[in-house]
A and B are shown apart, each in its own frame.
Chain A
Amino acid sequence: MKIVVPVKRVIDYNVKVRVKADHSGVDVSNVKMSMNPFDEIAVEEAVRIKEAGNADEVIVVSCGVASCQETLRSALALGADRAIIVETDVELQPLAVAKLLAAICHKEKPQLVICGKQAIDDDANQTGQMLAALMGWGQATCASKITLNENVATVTREIDGGLETLEFPLPAVISADLRLNAPRYATLPNIMKAKKKPLETINPGALGVDVAPRLRTLKFSEPPKRGAGIKVADVAQLIDKLKHEAKVL
């Protein structure tokens, strides 16, 4: 079976993001870009499924600007077999990405799509669910454990207040949460090998998808800063302040 893993190029999670002075966006000049961490977990899971003999091919897909190729090469270095970039300079929103991925799924006919639960830039947490809906497939978001048996997936999900386990037939979409696995580091030989793996470029028009944004971003701003308060000398003063000043006790 084939597994498709969508990956997104985002500002590295270690970078402190800054809003541009004119509020038109965030500053990405000279900023380190990386694969979305949840997508890295998704790639790792797909590669582990293949290594366990339960999949034949792992295809990674990225939608966006030409430099998403770098993200795809890192996914190939983690063990994916081939890559597809749907290249466009248009700002892509989750619905557009889900439609592009649906077009890829119609073409590649994977049994499973594993994606990150959300991207750490727009924190939307939408694309996997939208893709599942467009394909008419089942879904399991925020997965912390995946077991495959023939054409049936059993997935444990992280939900408010605990865990739930679902069972459903494939094909399906599963989104990865933090605890699904700890992704490996790409080794130098694998990074070299990744450069020779196939990478196909497609444009959205060829997939027949309208990617025009549905939401217009009017403004980016920084949240109001919370100022430091005071240091109290001891527990007695703390309780006094909480009772008489803050009035929360």
Chain B
Amino acid sequence: MAILVIAEHNNVSLHASTLNTVSAASRIASLTSSEIHVLVGGAACRAVAEAAARIAGVAKVKLADLPHLGDMTAESHAALIVAEVTNGTTAYSHILSPATSHGKNTLPRVAALLDVAQISEIIAVEDVDTFVRPFYAGNVLVTVKSSDVTKVITVRTTGFDAAISEGGTAVIEDTSATPDAKQPRLISRELSKSTRPELGAAKVIVSGGRGLGNGENFQSVLGPLADKLGAALGATRAAVDAGFVPNDYQVGQTGKIVAPQLYIAVGISGAFQHLAGMKDSKVIVAINKDPDAPIFQIADYGLVADLFTAVPEFTAAL
């Protein structure tokens, strides 16, 4: 038996979330002595397969390089995974995907087609069939044991360290799977462009709330600090709803779940919905003028100050 990890990528480069997922797979593999295989499905994506083959701990990369897989629709990729698992040469005990938009879209489809349960966003592996996952936006942790032959799992990347991306020498094998090509037509994909790191992968995040007052302040106060720290910019749902920044800045229960080395919360009161998305950060700094703001209850370092003077001072002192 082997473990199949679904690579997250954009046909050009391998996404970092794949590394965290390989780590989760390694944890299972260490209990069962199984091999880890990575499935790369896409169009003109051999470079991605080559990157996957270099991940430490990966034994084999299965490459499905087909034009219709390039748009990453759930329909075509679920068909690919099911074809690989049911008709391929290897028997798989576990199928793991990072809990990205693509993974969350695709894996439930895979599970239903295989007639097994799907286990969402695991944060820990307790045994080959036993996993911990959050309920109620992380307010409750639940340990579940699966009785299915094939375990179909999405992995919350903040729960596992990244596997080492170099040094592995896995073989790349073209898959013989012939997935169904029936799928929706992709009309457009608009990804916001930024020179800053991506929220999910950033080591430092500077995040702002309603305390910034408006979108202009948000960029002019937090932008320079983020640039100096090489940080990503994040925001609360309140700041997004108030129109300060686009939705993809959002950190929290309804946005991104992040766990950087350093999270600097500026003008953020600390609503539960926001805390659910960042409370696993290594070090949390809060800057807020209200000494009673709930954010101070979880911050490692709190500074009670007017953000409009404290943040520029912070930026200048770095």
Contacts and interface: CB of A to CB of B under 8 A. Distances in A.
B218 interface: no
A206 interface: no
Interface in B288-318: 291, 296-305, 310, 313-314, 317-318
Given A139-B74, A161-B192, A235-B317, A228 B100 contact: no
Given A133-B78, A230-B301, A231-B296, A216 B144 contact: yes
A96 to B, nearest CB: 9
A162 B108 contact: no
Contacts of B196: none
Given A179-B247, A235-B317, A129 B74 contact: yes
Interface stretch (B37-45, B49-57, B279-287): B279-287
Q: Output the residue of A11, A123, A167 with the most chain B CB within 10 A.
A: A123
A229 B101 CA distance: 34
Given A126-B118, A129-B109, A139-B75, A221 B302 contact: no
A236 B188 CA distance: 48
A131 B100 CA distance: 20
Contacts of B145: 215-218
Interface stretch (B24-32, B60-68, B133-141, B169-177): B133-141
Contacts of A122: 120, 135, 142
B140 A158 contact: no
A162 B192 contact: yes
Contact of B134 (A123, A125, A161, A238): A123
B69 to A, nearest CB: 15
Contacts of A214: 116-117, 146-148
A94 B105 contact: no
B308 to A, nearest CB: 13
Given A216-B147, A234-B303, A239-B318, A120 B137 contact: yes
A238 B117 contact: no
B181 interface: no
**Interface size classification for chain B:** 35 or more
A19 interface: yes
Nearest to A224: B141
Given A130-B112, A162-B191, A226 B283 contact: no
Contact of A238 (B115, B200, B303): B303
A41 to B, nearest CB: 12
Contacts of B302: 228-232
Contacts of B262: 242, 246, 248-249
Contact of B105 (A129, A216, A235): A129
Contacts of A220: 135, 140-142
Interface of B: 73-75, 78, 100-102, 104-113, 115-121, 130, 134-148, 183-192, 198, 200, 204, 229, 247-248, 254, 256, 261-262, 279, 282-285, 291, 296-305, 310, 313-314, 317-318
Interface of A: 11, 16-17, 19, 26, 93-95, 98, 120-134, 138-142, 154, 157-168, 178-179, 214-223, 226-232, 234-236, 238-239, 241-242, 246, 248-249
6 tightest A-B CB contacts, nearest first? A229-B300, A168-B184, A129-B108, A130-B112, A214-B117, A126-B108
